[in-house]
C-alpha cells in the first residue's frame, strides 16, 4: 500500500471514532490522533475493535470460549471499543502520540459533502477531504453559488521562470 493510500484510509478510519460505530469513545479521538474499526458477527457471538495511534496498534476481541450469542448490545462499538479506550488511555499516557504524517503527494481539497464536488464559497457545509493525485474532483458544486474553493498554491507554483543557474567557474 502506498503511503498516500495508507494516510487516506486512516483518515476514513478516524471517522469511525467521530461519527461511526465507535463514537462512544469519541473523547479519545478528540485528544489523540486515533483511528479504528469495529466488528460484530451477525449472530452477536464475537465483538472486536482494532484501533491505532501513530505509535501504537491494539486489538480487542470479546467473546466466549464456548461461543454463544451476547445479545443485540454485544457489538464492537459497545463492548470492545470501551475496553480498547481504557487500555489506550493508560498506554498513551506514557508516550506522546503525535499526528498521522501526511505524505507530500496527498491532495487536500474542500468538498461539499452532499455532492462530493469541489466546494464553492456558497456551500453551506464544507469538508476537507484527502485524495491521491488524479482521483480528486475537478467539477465545482452544481448546487451552490460562488467561486470554487481551491487549495492555496504551493510556493513552487507560479514561478514560471526557472531559477537562474550559477555561472560555470571554468
CB 111 within 8 A of CB 127: yes
- What is residue 155's predicted lDDT score, i.e. its pLDDT? 52
Q: What is the pLDDT, as a whole number, of residue 163?
A: 42
Residue 71 is assigned to a structural domain of this protein? yes
Judge if 60 and 139 occupy the same domain: no
Q: Are residues 113 and 86 in the same domain?
A: no
Strands annotated E in 18-56:
35-40, 47-52
Nearest in space to 119 (alpha carbons), one of 142, 90, 96: 142
What's the number of domains the chain is made of?
2
158 part of a folded domain: no
* Global confidence as pTM: 0.79
Q: Domain for residue 98, yes or no?
A: no
- Tell me what pLDDT residue 122 has: 95
Residue 113 pLDDT: 94
DSSP conformational letter for 88: H
Contact 100, 33 (CB under 8 A): yes
Q: Examine the fold and report which residue of 28, 63, 93 is the final residue of a domain before the chain moves on.
A: 93
In tens digits, the chain (170 residues) has pLDDT values of 999 999 999 999 999 999 999 999 999 999 999 999 999 998 999 999 999 999 999 999 999 989 888 988 999 999 999 999 999 999 999 877 789 999 999 999 999 999 999 999 999 999 999 999 999 999 999 999 999 998 776 555 444 444 444 444 44
Rounded distance between C-alpha atoms, residue 44 and residue 149, angstroms: 45
Binning the chain into helix, strand and coil, the percentages to the nearest 5 are 25, 20, 55
Judgement on whether residues 10 and 86 belong to the same structural domain of the protein? yes
Tell which of 61, 93, 125 closes a domain: 93
Provide the domain limits for residue 134: 106-150
CA 164 to centroid of chain Cα atoms = 41
Amino acid at each position: 500500500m502506498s503511503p498516500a493510500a495508507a494516510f487516506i484510509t486512516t483518515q476514513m478510519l478516524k471517522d469511525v471514532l467521530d461519527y461511526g460505530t465507535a463514537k462512544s469513545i469519541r473523547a479519545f479521538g478528540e485528544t489523540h490522533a486515533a483511528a479504528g474499526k469495529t466488528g460484530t458477527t451477525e449472530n452477536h457471538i464475537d465483538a472486536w475493535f482494532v484501533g491505532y495511534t501513530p505509535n501504537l496498534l491494539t486489538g480487542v476481541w470479546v467473546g466466549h470460549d464456548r461461543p454463544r450469542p451476547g445479545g443485540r448490545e454485544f457489538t464492537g462499538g459497545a463492548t470492545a471499543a470501551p475496553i480498547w479506550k481504557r487500555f489506550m488511555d493508560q498506554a498513551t499516557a506514557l508516550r506522546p502520540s503525535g499526528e498521522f504524517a501526511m505524505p507530500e503527494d496527498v491532495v487536500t481539497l474542500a468538498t461539499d459533502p452532499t455532492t462530493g464536488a469541489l466546494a464553492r464559497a456558497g456551500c453551506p457545509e464544507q469538508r476537507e477531504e484527502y485524495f491521491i493525485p488524479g482521483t480528486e474532483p475537478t467539477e465545482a458544486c452544481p448546487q451552490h453559488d460562488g467561486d470554487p474553493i481551491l487549495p492555496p498554491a504551493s510556493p513552487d507554483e507560479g514561478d514560471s521562470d526557472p531559477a537562474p543557474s550559477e555561472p560555470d567557474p571554468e
